[in-house]
Amino acid sequence: MDSFRLANVREARTPWRRTECKACEKNNRDVQRRIRCDPSTPPKPPNGTPCKLCGDTTRKFVFDHCHDSEQFRGYICQRCNHGLGSFPTIEALEQAIEYLSPYETTN
């Protein structure tokens, strides 16, 4: 368990361990650093820019990249980034859409 660090927790929450081991976490930081230093990587968009996925303009933008190819994909809001991170493949995301589709309502 020592190879998984404790996450930053707020006062009222129970401590939990990160899902990435320390070595993978370091590798991910190194990948992000390499991509950010690449002159072709655009700067973070200004506050008020809509997220490319949900359109929200109030959330913090984060750096989105593919962990396998190490390719920068863009900046999206933190909530969308966490949501995408829950699905390891496009196929898994498609399965989630298929699962939810029968319950979709239009207003």
Identify whether the C-beta of residue 60 lies closer than 8 Å to the C-beta of residue 48: no
Q: Report pLDDT digits (tens) over 70-91.
A: 889 999 999 999 899 888 889 9
For residue 9, give every residue at least 6 positions away whose Cβ sits within 8 Å of its Cβ, in sequence order, or none: 15, 16
Rounded CA-CA distance 31/25 in Å is: 10
**pTM of the predicted protein model:** 0.71
- State pLDDT tens for residues 50-67: 999 999 999 999 989 888
Residue found under tokens 């949501």:
83
